[in-house]
A = this chain, B = another copy of it.
Amino acid sequence: MEILCIGNELLIGKTLNTNAHWLAKRATSLGINVKRITIVGDYVEEIVAAVKEALQRRPQFIITTGGLGPTFDDKTLEGLAKALDQKLAVNKKALEMIIKKYEAYFGRKMRKRELTPARAKMATLPKGAKPLFNPAGTAPGVLINVKGTRLAALPGVPPEMEAIFEEYLAPMLKKAAGKTAFFERSIHVNGIVESVLAPLIDKAMRDNPHVYVKSHVYTKAKPESEGKRPGIELHLSTTATNAEIAEKQLEKTEHRLISLVRESGGKTDAEKL
């Protein structure tokens, strides 16, 4: 799977990209492997390029965030249409969704002149696209099948993005993952530098290639460095179809690492051994 986030606010450092983080975490927890995240600005040509490049890598899923609203800088639908060489047209179902939202807001029937270009824009989808109802906002999400790839466009407002993902995409991802799931655990070690850990990690991974071990130096209150005895997290993960076997694999590597770290004079937070 790939994630494509669209929005100048991400490129000027105004907004922290919690959407990519949330999507990556959720997809991983559903057993789907996220291979790349791309962030581009609100420019049609940038969106077109990023979508085309992602499609060429043939992921099972592409999820985009942002650019679905009523303002001029919301250019995702235009970008998708261009990238897929499809015409844009008002989608009846999407229009119904939007009209209902405004009628609920006004508390009365919508007048024809109230269907402004800005509002109709949110229902103007690439041909063949399916709108996804937005329970937390107005602009619908969009789902398009492009050969082997399912491309979903979600709004950038986090609760709207999350709501549409949970309703429509989570079940789809879960089904695609089948029994495959992601399992992880962490050990925290201390009193050992990363360069001493490196060959120990190599050993543990040679002994059990099913488990991927990655070290993360963590800095708490103030900047700490390898030279200052920082804390290091060893993150163990594996993808498997059987939870019991996966947990046993993780446990095996965890025990191995704990012994190796202790032999080298390090301390761990584990008392399980």
Residues of B within 8 Å of A12, CB to CB, are: 24-25, 28, 34, 182, 184, 237
| Interface assignment of A136: CB less than 8 Å from any CB of chain B | yes
Of B10, B27, B205, which contacts A24 at CB under 8 A?
B10
Q: Are A201 and B71 in contact (CB under 8 A)?
A: yes
Q: Are A194 and B71 in contact (CB under 8 A)?
A: yes
Contact with B along A11-37 (1 / 0, CB 8 A): 111111110111111111100001111
Q: Are A137 and B215 in contact (CB under 8 A)?
A: no
Q: Are A13 and B9 in contact (CB under 8 A)?
A: no
Kindly report how many copies of this chain are found in the complex they form together: 2
Q: Are A71 and B215 in contact (CB under 8 A)?
A: yes
Taking A38-B37, A137-B225, A225-B136 as contacts, is the C-beta distance between A20 and B23 under 8 angstroms?
A: no
Taking A37-B39, A46-B36, A223-B136 as contacts, is the C-beta distance between A116 and B195 under 8 angstroms?
A: yes
Contact with B along A154-165 (1 / 0, CB 8 A): 000111100100
Residues of B within 8 Å of A148, CB to CB, are: none
Residues of B within 8 Å of A79, CB to CB, are: none
| Interface assignment of A217: CB less than 8 Å from any CB of chain B | yes
Chosen A-B contacts, 28 in total, with CB atoms closer than 8 Å, are: A8-B212, A10-B37, A11-B24, A11-B28, A11-B35, A11-B36, A12-B25, A12-B237, A13-B21, A13-B24, A13-B25, A16-B21, A17-B20, A36-B38, A36-B40, A37-B39, A38-B38, A69-B215, A70-B198, A71-B198, A73-B214, A117-B199, A118-B195, A122-B195, A137-B217, A138-B193, A138-B226, A159-B225
